Amino acid sequence: MLKLIKRSGWPFSYDITNYHGIQPSQFEWTQDDNKFSGVTVYFDHNHLGGVKDNRTGLGFLLDYFDNSKDRLSFLKQGFKSNNEKLKFLLNGFRKSNKDRLSFLWLSESRAIEGKVHKHVLKNRDLFFDCYDAIFVHDREMIEKDNRFRYLPNGSNKHWVTDCGIHKKNKLISMINSGKRMCEGHLLRNKITASLKDKVDLFGLTYNPIERKEEGLNEYMFSIALENARYRTYITEKILDCFATGTIPIYLGAPDIGDYFNEDGIIKWTDDFDIGQLSEDLYYSKMDAIEDNFERCMKIVPSEDMLYEEMIKCGL
């Protein structure tokens, strides 16, 4: 069935996908536009670099949908409501790919693409008419409509490649790119500013590093704050800690304990005291550190899971 598949958009426009060195096993079909041409995968975002054709990002469609400059032209075309306009746009996408199967994957967090997720949920009947399947990582969407199919978010696997429970000789680090795209980014920046004299900081606006391992391998603890906090949204921010034998000081998915050993995770709170961290505390949690490392290594990239889910849909 590989010959029927076409890859479209991020993260498949990267040679090694979004895992910075971890190559999904099934994805020969993501690398050759000319060879595979039967399926298009649309995404919920189009702001990331490397996308050959960002019209495969649903954000593009919805920006058009909400653009006030287009309202007059749509009125002239006889649309009586936004619902009719959205249906027209979706059908346009569908008709332009009538010989392909079309899938939608909401792989980004609510914090970054909440507008898109709300559109899809509110107008889901139209979207289900347009796509052969819609994959989401947000359990709340599935609970509201079981036609949504579960698939983990993008970056559901560690990014670091030098994996192992490394020898530790430093206490605590924090890695922060300094982005300001959502409330989670702003909170991370605020916390970073408050800790600048208490932790070793790394990131584009602090102490640039080429590889995340430089800010993790030697550290017993590292502060890991997700962009959003809801069930099942788990990303490389905590997984890179597990993959290097570092204990995360974590703010993120409330159900993290369903997937990892919570004895190897320390929860971040507003009044968190870094003074409680010590070498003795780290080594007292070694069983959990090893457990979380093993669990992390077994994670299947969501791209591979997407491939398997599309097979189930009848490819």
DSSP string computed for the chain: -GGG----STTTTSTTGGGTS---SSGGGGS-TTT--SEEEEES---STT-S-GGGBHHHHHHHHH-GGGHHHHHHTT--SHHHHHHHHHHHHHHHTTTSEEEEEE-S-HHHHHHHHHHHHHTHHHHHHH-SEEEE--HHHHHH-TTSEE-PPSS-S---SS-S-----EEEEEE-----SSHHHHHHHHHHHHHTTTSEEESTTSS--SSGGGGTTTEEEEEEE-S--STT---HHHHHHHHTTPEEEEES-TTGGGTS-GGG-EE--TT--GGG--HHHHHHTHHHHHHHHHHHHTPPPHHHHHHHHHHHTT-
Q: What is the pLDDT of residue 257?
A: 98
The whole-angstrom separation of Cα 229 and Cα 234 is: 9
More confident residue, 6 or 61: 61
Domains of the chain: 2-155+300-312 (no CATH), 170-297 (3.40.50.11660)
The chain-wide mean pLDDT, for the chain, equals 78
pLDDT tens digits, 142-198: 999 999 999 999 889 999 999 999 999 999 999 998 888 889 899 999 999 999 999
**pTM beyond cutoff 0.85:** no
- What residue type is assigned to position 100 of the chain? R
What are the tens digits of pLDDT across the range 64-93? 444 444 444 444 444 455 565 566 555 555
* 219-225 and 133-136 beta bridge pairing: unpaired
Structure tokens at 151: 């698939």
Residue type, 277: L
- Dist. CA 155–CA 302, nearest whole Å: 8
Share of the chain above pLDDT 90, in %: 48
Residue 47 has what pLDDT?
A: 38
